[in-house]
Structure 1
Amino acid sequence: MKKLVSHKISVALVLITLLSSCSDLFNEPNIKSNPNAVTDVDVATLLSGTLLGVAMIHEDTDVRIGAIWAGQLNGLARQHQGYADYIVSSQNFSWSPLYPAASQARLIQTKADAVGDKWTKGIGQVLEALLIAKATDFYGDIPYSQAFDDVKYPTPTFDKQADVYAALQTTLDNAIQNLSAPAGLAIATQDFIYGGNVAKWKAAAYTLKARLYLHAGDYAKAVTNATSGISSTAGDALIPHGTSQGVDYNQNYDFFRVNRAGDTGFDGAYLPVLMQSRIKSANTKTDETSLYNHYFKVGITATGSLDPNTTDGAFTASSPHPIITYYENQLILAEAQARLGVTDKALDALNSVRKGLASGYINGKTISATGLKYDAYTLSDFAPTGLANPTKLATVQTALLYEIISQRYIFLLMQYEAFNDVRRLEKATPVVQLPIPLYTGTKKPERFIYPQNEVNTNPNVPKPLPDQFTKIPIFQ
C-alpha cells in the first residue's frame, strides 16, 4: 500500500475534497504535493475534518455502484451504464479517500490519548469502524492490522475478512467503553453529526455492532447489540446539507441533477417495481404512495423518465443523508429476531418502523400525509392467506422475513447496506430473497475489484485477483 495520507493531516484539503465534485482531488499526488497543507491540528479540528471525509464516503460513486448492483438504481449513460452492464476493472476503483479518512480516524485516537480525552477517542474509533467496515464489505480481505503505519509496513498484509470483522467488534467495544467515561472534551461545535452528544455516539456504536453481527449471521448478538442501539429517530446519524452549490450540496443532488443528470435513473430498476406492486396490492394496512413520490419523480431529465426526486423529495440539495439510523437498528432487530424464531418480538420491531413511517418521518425529512399509511401488523397478517403475505409463503416466519427484507430494501435506498443485503441474503437462513433481476448476463456482481494502484504497489494483494463475480468470504 502506498502512503495514503501523511500523519500530518491537512483538514483543509479534506474539506475541499468533500465539497468538490471532482473525485481526483483526493488522489495521493495532490495530498503529498499540496503546498498549502496544514501541518498539524488539534484533535477537535481533526474530528471535524474527518467527519467531512466520512460524509463524502457515504455519498460517493461507490454508493451509486452499490445501488446499481443491488437493483435499486440503473446506470443509463456513460460510465454508469457500464456499471449496470457489470463491466468494471481495477481501474474503476480507488481506496482514496476511504483509507485516508480511516487514517485520520486513527490519528484522532492518538491525539485524544495525548490529552486524555476518552470521548473523542471513542468517536474516532466509531468512525474508523464505519470506514473499515465499508472497505471489507466491498472488497473482502483488506489491509487493516498494518494499514496505518506506512513506515513500518509500506506493503501491508491483507487480513482475512473474518479477522477484520473480529477486530472491528473489538474496536467498537473499546469505543463504547471510552464513550462511557465520565468526562471528555467539549466538541459540540466540531461534531456536526451529533453535536458532541456521546450517548448518541455510543448508541450508534451498538447499532454498528449489530449491523456487523447481522452480516456474520450471529443473530443472537445482533439482537443483544441492537437492543442497546439507536433508540429513536432523534439518534439518527445524518449528514446535514444546504443549498449552496460547491459548498454544502447533498452529493446525490449534485450528481443526479447538476453534474450527471440522466446518467442514472430508476427506469428498469427493481425498486420502483417492488414499490408499485406493494401499492397495488390488497394490503389495506399499507400505502407507500407518499414514500414512492418522495423517492421518484417523472420527467425531470427527460419526458417520461423515472428520475430521482431532486425537486421536493429525498434528493434535494439540502436533504440530509443517513449514515446509520433508528429504522436500520429496528430492522436489524426485526430480522434477527425473526431468524431466531421469535416472531412476536420481530413484529414489534417492524411495527416500530411502520409507526415512524406513518408519522411521515424518514431521514430527517417529513413526507406528505397523502398516500401514507402504515398500520400496525399482527402475526395473522403473515399467514398463507394473510394480507401481508402476497407471495403466499408457507410459514409466518418466512412471510414476516420477506416483509422485513422488503422494508429494508426500500428504506436503504442510496445506502450501501442495500448491496450488502442482496449478497448476504443468499446465505442467511432461512433463505428468503427478493426476486431482483439482473441487468445483463447470468452472474450477479459480488464485490469490488482491488484498485489498480494497490495491485501495482503491494505484492500482498490476493492472487489471482478476484473479479467482480467472486463472493467475499463473509457472504460465501
Structure 2
Amino acid sequence: MRLFKTSLIIATFICLVACQSVVDDINDNNPNKIGVVDGQTLFTGMQLANTTAQSGYLNWAAGVWTGNFVGSGRFAPVQNYEYGNTNSNTPWRNIYVGVVKQAREIRSGIEVTNKNFFYGASKVLEAYAVGTAVNVFGDVPYSEASNDEIPTPKYDSQTEVYTALQVLLDEAISDLQVAGTSGGINEDIYFGGDSSKWVKAAYTLKARLFLDVRDYSNAAAAAQNGISSESESMKYYPPAVVLTGDTNLLNQFFTGSFPDDLTTEGSFLIDLVGTGASSRNNAKTDEVDRAAYYYDGVDINLSGIAANNEPMNQISYQENLLTWAEASLRSNSTNFSSALAKLNEHRANLRNGVYFSTSSGIYDDYVEADFEAGGIENADSSLSKEDALLREIIEERYVTFFADILSFNDIRRTEKDATALQVPVPFNTGSQRPQRFLYPFDEENTNADNVPDIADIFVKTQINQ
C-alpha cells in the first residue's frame, strides 16, 4: 500500500462528480515530512477524510443496491449490479491514508497537546473507518496497514479485524476517560473536544461492530453506554459555502455535474414512506414528515436531508436506540418489553421533531397488543409477537438509515433471518444481491500478492456466509 499525499479535497466521487473541496488547505504538507506537523492539525484532516469515506461514494452506490436510490447515466452499471474497482480507489485512500495513516502518526510520538484526548479520539476514528472498510470489503489490511516499512501489508481476516477493533475502542474509551476534556479544542470539528461525547460515540460504535457479527448480547450491553441524546450524536456540520462547494455531500452530488445519475423517485424506500400500495403507514404511523424530509415529490429534498447546510450523521442517537432495541430482543426473547421501550423512545423523538421537522406526521407509541396475533403490526397472525416487533425494528432501521452505509450492512446481515423478517427490497436485476465492494484497482496494482482473489460483488464476506 503506497503512502499517497493526503488529499485535502473531499474527493468523494472523483470519477463522477466534479465537486469542490470542503477541506481545502487542511493538510498541504509533504507526506514524506508528515512528522513535522503537530498531531492536532492532522486530526481535523482525519475527520474530514472520515466524513468523506462514510458519507460519500460508498453510500451512494450501496444506496442503489438497497432501494434507497435508482441509478442512471453513470450509475446505470451500479443499478445493474455492475461495479468497476476503480470506484473503490478514493474511498480506500480516504480510509487508509486520510484516517488510518494519520491516526497512527498522531500516536507515533509527534508533538500532540492533550495527548490522552487526541490518542483516544484518533483510535475511535481509526476503528470507525476500518470498521466500514472491513464490513463492505471483507478481509482488509489492519495489523500491517499504513506502515512505511511494510509497503505491501498482509490482509487480516474479517473476523480478526472486528476483534482487533473492539480492543482498539476499549483503549480509546480508557484514554478519553483519563483525558476528561469538556471542550475548547477547535481542531475537533465533531465534538469540540468533549471527551465524554467521544466515549458515548465509541460505545455506540462498539455496539455497531458487535451487531455486524451478530454478537447481540454484547451489542446491547455496549448500546447501554452509548449515545443517549441527539446533542451527543457525531455529525459533520458543513460550512455551507456554496461557491467553494463546502456543503452537505448529498447536496454536492445532486447539484453537481451529474445530478441525473441518481434519483430517489420510484425508489423502494421512498415508496415505503409514501402513501401508495407499499406504504408502511398504519393507524399509529403516518410518515408524511419523514417522506417530505427525504423527498420533495420529484427527487431528493434539497431543502431537507440534502440541504447545503444539513448536518451529516456519522454515529447517531437514532442508531444507538435502534441497535439497543434490536440487539436486546435478539439476545433474549424475554426482553420484549425493554426492546419495545427503546423503539418507542425513538418514535417519541420522531414525533417531537428531534431528527427532522414534524408537523402532521404520526408516531404514536406501540403497545404489546399491536404485535400479537391480529394486531396492527401482525395483522395476518403469521408471526410471534417477538418476531413481529423484530420485523418492525428492522424496517425502522431501514427507513432511518436512508443514504447511510448502515442500510447496506443491515440488508446483508438480515439475509440469515426468515424471509418474513427481512425488508423486501426488490432485486434491480437477476436474483442475487451485491454483497461487497471490490478491492481498489490501485491496491491490486501495488499489493497484488496480498489482495484476496474475489471474483465479483456477489461473493459473501466471512461474517455473512
TM-score normalised over the length of structure 1: 0.88
- Aligned AA for 2:83? V
- Aligned twin of 2:288: 289
Aligned partners of 1:388, 1:97: CA distance in 2, in Å? 42
- Aligned twin of 1:368: 358
- Aligned twin of 1:438: 427
Question: What's the CA shift string for 1:375-428, capped at 9, x where partnerless?
Answer: 111111111211123564321111101110111000101110100000000125
- Aligned twin of 2:343: 350
Q: CA deviation at 1:271?
A: 0.4
- Aligned twin of 1:2: 2
Q: CA deviation at 1:18?
A: 7.4
Q: Per the alignment, in what secondary structure is the counterpart of residue 361 of structure 1?
A: coil
Aligned partners of 2:152, 2:3: CA distance in 1, in Å? 9
- Aligned twin of 1:303: none
- Aligned AA for 1:308? I
Q: 1:233 aligns with which of 230, 235, 252?
A: 230
Q: Which runs of 5+ in 1 are unaligned?
A: 300-306
Cα gap change, 1:60 to 1:143, in 2 (>3 Å): same
Q: Does residue 223 of the first structure (1) align with residue 220 of the second (2)?
A: yes
Q: 2:404 aligns with which of 396, 402, 415?
A: 415
Aligned partners of 1:289, 1:208: CA distance in 2, in Å? 30
Q: Which runs of 5+ in 2 are unaligned?
A: none
Q: 1:377 aligns with which of 366, 378, 381?
A: 366
Q: CA deviation at 1:463?
A: 4.7
Aligned partners of 1:35, 1:228: CA distance in 2, in Å? 38
- Aligned twin of 1:14: 8
Task: Using the aligned pairs only, state the percent identity.
Answer: 33
Q: Does residue 72 of the first structure (1) align with residue 68 of the second (2)?
A: yes
- Aligned AA for 1:457? T
Q: CA deviation at 1:247?
A: 4.3
Cα gap change, 1:287 to 1:35, in 2 (>3 Å): closer
Asked whether the 8 Å contact 1:189–1:196 carries over to 2, the reply is: yes
- Aligned AA for 1:98? I
Aligned partners of 1:253, 1:24: CA distance in 2, in Å? 12
- Aligned twin of 2:84: 89
Aligned partners of 1:23, 1:154: CA distance in 2, in Å? 31
Cα gap change, 1:423 to 1:389, in 2 (>3 Å): same
Q: CA deviation at 1:3?
A: 2.7
Q: Per the alignment, in what secondary structure is the counterpart of residue 97 of structure 1?
A: helix
Asked whether the 8 Å contact 2:281–2:287 carries over to 1, the reply is: no
Aligned partners of 2:151, 2:350: CA distance in 1, in Å? 49
Question: What's the CA shift string for 1:48-81, capped at 9, x where partnerless?
Answer: 111111111122111101111111111022x211
Matched residue count = 452
Asked whether the 8 Å contact 2:245–2:252 carries over to 1, the reply is: no
Aligned partners of 1:25, 1:237: CA distance in 2, in Å? 21
Q: CA deviation at 1:285?
A: 1.4
Asked whether the 8 Å contact 1:331–1:349 carries over to 2, the reply is: yes
Q: CA deviation at 1:430?
A: 9.5
Aligned partners of 2:164, 2:56: CA distance in 1, in Å? 25
Aligned partners of 2:307, 2:64: CA distance in 1, in Å? 20
Aligned partners of 1:391, 1:212: CA distance in 2, in Å? 34
Aligned partners of 2:214, 2:279: CA distance in 1, in Å? 33
- Aligned twin of 2:300: 308
More deviation, 184-193/195-204: 184-193
- Aligned twin of 1:266: 264
Q: 1:402 aligns with which of 384, 388, 391?
A: 391
Q: CA deviation at 1:278?
A: 8.7
Q: CA deviation at 1:149?
A: 0.8
Aligned partners of 1:33, 1:367: CA distance in 2, in Å? 42
Cα gap change, 1:241 to 1:165, in 2 (>3 Å): same
Question: What's the CA shift string for 1:340-376, capped at 9, x where partnerless?
Answer: 21111100110110010111121xxx41312x11111
Cα gap change, 1:112 to 1:220, in 2 (>3 Å): farther
Q: CA deviation at 1:282?
A: 6.8
Q: Per the alignment, in what secondary structure is the counterpart of residue 238 of structure 1?
A: strand
Q: CA deviation at 1:251?
A: 1.2
Q: Equivalences for 1:16-55 in 2 at 5 Å?
A: 22=18, 40-55=36-51
Asked whether the 8 Å contact 2:139–2:452 carries over to 1, the reply is: no
Aligned partners of 2:278, 2:428: CA distance in 1, in Å? 24
Cα gap change, 1:203 to 1:74, in 2 (>3 Å): same
Cα gap change, 1:454 to 1:32, in 2 (>3 Å): farther
Aligned partners of 1:197, 1:466: CA distance in 2, in Å? 45
Asked whether the 8 Å contact 2:271–2:279 carries over to 1, the reply is: no
